[in-house]
Structure 1
Amino acid sequence: MNIKLNLFFLLIFQIGISQQYDTVYIEAENIDENNKIYKPGSVFIYDYEINLNGEKLKLKRNEGMFANSNFELTPISTDSIGVTKIHLIVQPIENNNRSNENQTQISYLQEPTFASITSTGAVENEKNVWIHPIRSGFFNCLETASFPFVKTPLKLNSTWTDKMQIGEGWGNKMWGTWEGKLLLTYNYKIVGTETLDTEMGKVPCFIVESTATSNLGVTKLKSFFSEIYGFVRLEYELLNNLKVNMWLIETKNEVEFNDTGTFFKTKKYMKQQ
């Protein structure tokens, strides 16, 4: 039992030390009150596509996290897709129950089964917007890229930098492996604006190009940020000819969420869903 507990706390420690991003401005109090996008009671539904060596894929199964990740890819044209959409939800929560101190609590679920829920953090205030991407199973790969992040005021050619260390448990032969801690150095730049045609209509966005440089090489993230909907589209270029695209297709506001027990019993996270 002690061995299992020690391994559990080691896992939590290794995950925890990866959350650095020292230049993100985080409020000490009133954490959720001034959020204009990622407000408690909000839901953001994303479609996604994985591209490996030019082949378009989705996930047949996807579970676990860190060293316990378990996933399988399948061609996008088959009927064996097990993860069709990704839901980002913002649940109201008491300060002492937050997964990440002084950050807005966000959670990710995978449609259609909603068999599990993983929680992490986001930051939104008058100085910056930053979100931790989904990291279940295959999406461990996104830890090797820069996180969605904008600093305000939003101006063309604005640049900023940051860095973070991640543990070797985030690695995989598909997107790169390493021993010990991997230092990622981030560079961000607002390179332009574009109005995207989305399922919510035409959405004006700022285009942010960012890189994460490490001993493994350079990964890229091109994000499209809306002052109304947040990160509308994310285009990742990772190592080993791996690409991941995610795009927002629907939002909901003032949602009432089921408690944890009801969620695991019904597999529904919204009341009266």
Structure 2
Amino acid sequence: MSWLFVLFFAFSACDNDDDLLTDRNWQLTWSDDFDGPAGQLPDASNWVLETGRGPNGDGWGNAELQYYTDRPENVSLDGNGNLAITARRESYAGAPYTSARLKTQGRFEQAYGRFEARIKMPWGPGIWPAFWMLGASIETEPWPQCGEIDIMEYRGQEPNIIHGSVHGPGYSGGSPITKSYALPDGRFDTDFHVFALEWGEGFLNFYVDDVVYQQIREEEVGNIIYRESSTGDSRAEWVFDQPFFMLLNVAVGGNYVGFPAQETTFPQTMLVDYVRVYREAN
């Protein structure tokens, strides 16, 4: 097993207006508004429900505690136009919690454009919701070579803060390129908010409610020098030039958030009003 050490990186502030896409002419390419009767599973033509504790049974590589199921108790429409992903404290298949994880892999994948979801968070230490993306090449190029874009990650113990991150060769695991955004007023678990990524050739912009808080550029990623024990110094790679698929999940516990605390009540539900994807119109 090789080890990785990041030696240097530097990123500019969010001041590159040339790469802001918000005012572009967007064309909707994919959407799910989660309309339907309460208790119905999400549209199988849009989403794949992943089950289990990860390919190696190790909590999805993060020591997560939940078992993902495809039961309506963990993932279903709520009858009010939302998808409900619910984490529960219950013994199931050897795990102490259950929850759900959905992906569009094999259903919808796209490079470049605007990817957004309107979400209301759960709350509680040890609760870990996310709206994120993985490179469609993951079957032939394992993580992190395939790339990962975390449009929104949230620690349940920090109800007014979300994080946006990217992972790739030279900036992965515990050393991603990341930035947090704090709500100026209120909490993410008391109302819906729109989390978005605008992605163009050579750049990624992260938004909360149309406020850009992070811009990542290909040339800046190229400044990262990292060291692997097997190969020595290497330069980080930009891998965000291929189609990606989307994921939604609520994890419980794990390296990122720690164990649920005594004050964390269950069930905990993330509500998703919609997910929409756009491409810039010609």
Same fold, TM-score > 0.5, yes or no = no
Greater relative CO (CA pairs within 8 A, separation 6+): 2
Which has more helix, going by share of residues? 1
Normalised to the residue count of structure 2, the TM-score between the two structures is 0.28
TM (norm. structure 1) is 0.29
